[in-house]
């Protein structure tokens, strides 16, 4: 029976993920960049794109992809990257079941917690994306699971392992640093400061630093300082569009709906402030606060809290069930209630995924057409097309036009250096329907997309 339920926790998310797999006609800017970096790693060129180190991006996901890209042809890279994310999503569903079984005291509510994770719109949508979130969520959850086992069973090995996986969590996404805050808050709430000199935590911190050390060394070697990748990553996020906390919660309601928020409130009410309850509360609230302090916020950034959300929501359902235990035919009502909740969550999940399926569709269509019709060795693009161009022209030299390199690019256009020039929107390099610097009529506008939003220029042969 135990093995059947555990198998169920794996099979359900895997099948649902396969049945709702996104089309290849959509790819995000970040997803294209991760694939490009992974290809460079697989070719032995390091953590680079177009010869430039990209260490402001977390390394674990591209390195994971590179293991498979070594023997897969280019056309399989996008589906392979999504399958890898799906596998991490599936493993997280299993971990959520195991944690739920421990914290909620029954296999039934363990599987309910797992299903609430599976059908959480954020987890569901990120599960099939070429993004870091599924892998990041898995390592965060695994670290929390081992950390709790170490506390509950007083096992030093589990505690030390949790710090090792916390290191991998940070390498999966730099905001994973918040996991140290979760550890500290949980330990303080359960044991105040009595734990601080214990050997296992000192060893754990050393193991964490050892886990991070190869990346810190590469940062020192290639990026101007051991901690510079973290600093640059923080700066990049700060430069992005500011999103207030109020705007963030508006977006969250739009993406996941009211049902999860209602169940969260219910679960927080029923959760006891003991060593079990404080684990998920610390995980959720400290994790959430870590994201709310960032200038640029997106709802997908809190995907790593979705297992904690699922556990709290399951506690809310359990609390209601216990309060209504004398109702006739309780099991039937319970089954119907959980079923309705999961259907509503799936509907919200499907809608969010459909929104993401439209993200990058135009860029993907344009660059896909260009790659099928031209064997370009040198490509010039506007900034937002930069990573897409690298994905569709993996063996080519790709450059982007900026105000900083404007004069250099114009000179190269005069010389006919670029085989293709692909432009999105109005840009400083356009002069009507011609390229600035094309005084010798070296380039011809061969294709436009979306009422002229995208333009492709070919060098005359």
pLDDT digits (tens, 9 = 90+) for 317-370: 999 998 887 787 778 888 899 999 999 999 999 999 999 999 999 999 999 999
222: pLDDT strictly greater than 60? yes
Interval 381-395 mean pLDDT: 97
Same domain, 264 and 352: yes
Angle between helices 306-323 and 330-358 (to 10 degrees): 160
Q: Mean of the per-residue pLDDT values for the chain? A: 94
Indicate the pTM of the whole model.
Answer: 0.96
Same domain, 273 and 338: yes
Interval 261-284 mean pLDDT: 96
Same domain, 369 and 298: no
pLDDT digits (tens, 9 = 90+) for 27-85: 999 999 999 999 999 999 999 999 999 999 999 999 999 999 999 999 999 999 999 99
Residue 66's domain spans which residues?
A: 2-358
Same domain, 260 and 210: yes
pLDDT digits (tens, 9 = 90+) for 102-130: 999 999 999 999 999 999 999 999 999 99
2: pLDDT strictly greater than 80? no
Other CB atoms closer than 10 Å to residue 98's CB: what's the count? 17
Same domain, 344 and 385: no
- Which of 325, 358, 391 is at the close of a domain? 358
Same domain, 354 and 366: no
d(CA 376, CA 95): 46
CATH number, domain containing residue 449: 3.40.190
What is the count of structural domains for the chain? Answer: 2
Confidence of residue 1 (pLDDT cuts 50, 70, 90): low
Same domain, 217 and 350: yes
Same domain, 314 and 381: no
pLDDT digits (tens, 9 = 90+) for 433-459: 789 888 788 999 999 999 999 999 999
pLDDT score, position 20: 96
Same domain, 297 and 439: no
Same domain, 125 and 264: yes
Same domain, 191 and 288: yes
Same domain, 427 and 441: yes
- Which of 302, 332, 358 is at the close of a domain? 358
d(CA 114, CA 90): 10
Confidence of residue 425 (pLDDT cuts 50, 70, 90): confident
Other CB atoms closer than 10 Å to residue 402's CB: what's the count? 14
- Which of 321, 343, 358 is at the close of a domain? 358
Between the two ends of the chain, the Cα-to-Cα distance in Å is: 70
pLDDT score, position 325: 77
């Amino acid at each position: 029976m135990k093995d059947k339920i555990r198998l169920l926790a794996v099979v359900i998310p895997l099948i649902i993920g396969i049945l709702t797999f996104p089309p290849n006609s959509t790819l995000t800017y970040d997803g294209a960049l991760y694939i490009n970096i992974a290809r460079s790693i697989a070719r032995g060129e390091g953590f680079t794109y177009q010869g430039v180190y990209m260490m402001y991006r977390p390394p674990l996901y591209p390195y994971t992809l590179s293991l498979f890209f070594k023997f897969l042809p280019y056309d399989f890279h996008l589906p392979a990257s999504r399958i890898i994310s799906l596998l991490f999503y599936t493993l997280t569903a299993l971990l959520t079941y195991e944690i739920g079984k421990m914290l909620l005291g029954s296999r039934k509510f363990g599987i309910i917690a797992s299903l609430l994770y599976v059908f959480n719109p954020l987890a569901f949508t990120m599960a099939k994306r070429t993004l870091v979130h599924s892998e990041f969520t898995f390592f965060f959850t695994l670290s929390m699971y081992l950390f709790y086992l170490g506390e509950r069973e007083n096992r030093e090995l589990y505690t030390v392992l949790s710090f090792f996986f916390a290191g991998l969590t940070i390498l999966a996404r730099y905001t994973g640093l918040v996991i140290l805050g979760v550890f500290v808050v949980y330990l303080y709430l359960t044991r105040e400061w009595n734990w601080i000199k214990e050997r296992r935590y000192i060893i754990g911190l050393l193991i964490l630093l050892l886990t991070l050390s190869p990346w810190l060394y590469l940062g020192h070697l290639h990026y101007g300082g051991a901690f510079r990748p973290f600093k640059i990553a923080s700066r990049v996020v700060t430069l992005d569009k500011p999103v207030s906390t109020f705007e963030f919660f508006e977006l969250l309601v739009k993406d996941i709906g009211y049902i999860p928020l209602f169940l969260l409130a219910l679960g927080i009410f029923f959760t006891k402030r003991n060593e079990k309850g404080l684990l998920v509360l610390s995980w959720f609230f400290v994790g959430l606060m870590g994201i709310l302090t960032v200038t640029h916020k997106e709802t997908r950034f809190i995907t790593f809290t979705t297992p904690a959300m699922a556990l709290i929501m399951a506690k809310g359902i359990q609390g209601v069930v216990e309060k209504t235990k004398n109702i006739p035919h309780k099991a039937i009502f319970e089954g119907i209630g959980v079923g309705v909740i999961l259907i509503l969550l799936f509907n919200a999940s499907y809608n969010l995924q459909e929104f993401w399926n439209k993200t990058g569709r135009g860029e993907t269509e344009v660059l896909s057409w260009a790659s099928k019709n031209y064997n370009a060795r040198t490509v010039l693009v506007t900034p937002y097309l930069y990573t897409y161009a690298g994905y569709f022209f993996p063996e080519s030299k790709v450059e982007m036009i900026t105000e900083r390199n404007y004069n250099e690019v114009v000179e190269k256009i005069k010389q006919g250096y670029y085989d293709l020039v692909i432009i999105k929107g109005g840009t400083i390099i356009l002069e009507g329907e011609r390229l600035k610097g094309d005084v010798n009529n070296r380039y011809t506008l061969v294709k436009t997309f979306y009422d002229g939003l995208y333009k492709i220029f070919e060098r005359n042969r």
